[in-house]
Amino acid sequence: MTRRIRSQITRGSGELAILSLLAEQPLYGFEIARQIGERTNGALRFTLASLYPLLYEMEKRGWVEGRWQANEAGRDRRYYHLTSSGRKQLAPLRQEWRAFFQALDSLAGVSHA
């Protein structure tokens, strides 16, 4: 697998993971990274260096919107909210990934389930 393809897969999976999480509730950067790591048992892991460029890129596209808010402890955090445009991206992205895993499954017996 070339580096470019690997990078695109990583990026695409990151976008789907972030959009899916934010569809449940607004979260700030550290919490997004923590929840992705926890809920995938560490299979997907975001460092600061991989998370923020992606978040800013998604914000530029209008999929998410960052707003400074205080968390439960009264500390300011930049919470990312899913926009209506981001919500519209979710279904096609899920469909693309489903098709991708089905294709891999039929080819190499790799199931996503």
- Given the rule CB under 8 A, which residues bind another protein? 28-30, 33, 47-49, 52-54, 56-57, 59-60, 66, 68, 70, 74-78
Terminus-to-terminus CA distance in the chain, angstroms?
Answer: 23
Least spacing, CB of residue 98 vs another protein, in Å:
28
Our CB check for another protein shows the closer of 56 and 102 to be 56
Q: Which is nearer to another protein, 6 or 112 (CB)?
A: 6
The answer to whether the CB of 36 falls within 8 A of the CB of 45 is yes
